[in-house]
Amino acid sequence: MSYSIYIGEAVVRWPEGDDDDNNEPWITVNGIGREVPGAPSFRGDCMTGTGNSRHPGYCAWDNFLRASSIHDLMFGTDGGLMRSHPGCFVLREQDHGAVRLALETYRSAHPDAKPGWCCCDDCSTRPMDKSDNLPHEDLDATLARLTWLEFWIRWALDNCEHPAIYNH
């Protein structure tokens, strides 16, 4: 199982049709359907590419948040950005500041780290992994996720009337 996390403009969705049992609107964030200059992309991350969505496994995302010291920012019961699933929450400057600080701290502690996921023949061992036929590299998934998160929160704050993070 995994999350589908989107960062961008909050959009209200209305129920379709005349179904009496479905009269509840919800708030979501759409994927970006265009290139965004400077959007990060990483080796081994073809699902995300340069997009505003990530689809990490529950455990992978939890481990990342703990390793980068922002678990409470996302799952804290009082104001966590992913405190309900599904859910959509407003992004604020203080959220970006917390992620930026986590990224700076992580980079300081891991100065030689390169973001991404290695997809060489040896590292592509699961059936869903596909080798990229490149040489092995030691890549850091935590750095990749922090870089992605920092970029897209900043982008949403700078470019959206209603910046939000949505997970389902």
Q: How far is Cα of residue 97 from the mean position of the Cα atoms in its chain?
A: 16
The reported pLDDT for the residue numbered 132 is: 64
- pTM to 2 decimals? 0.89
Burial of 25-61, coded b for 16+ CB within 10 Å and e otherwise, reads eebbbeebeeeeeebbebbbbeebebbbbbebeeeeb
Each domain of the chain, given as residue ranges in start order, spans 5-167
Q: What is the pLDDT tens value at each position of the chain, 168 positions in all?
A: 789 999 999 999 888 776 667 778 889 999 887 778 899 988 777 777 788 999 998 999 999 999 999 999 999 998 999 999 899 999 999 999 999 999 999 999 999 999 987 777 677 665 555 666 676 778 899 999 999 999 999 999 999 999 999 998
The reported pLDDT for the residue numbered 90 is: 97
The reported pLDDT for the residue numbered 130 is: 66
Q: How far is Cα of residue 19 from the mean position of the Cα atoms in its chain?
A: 33
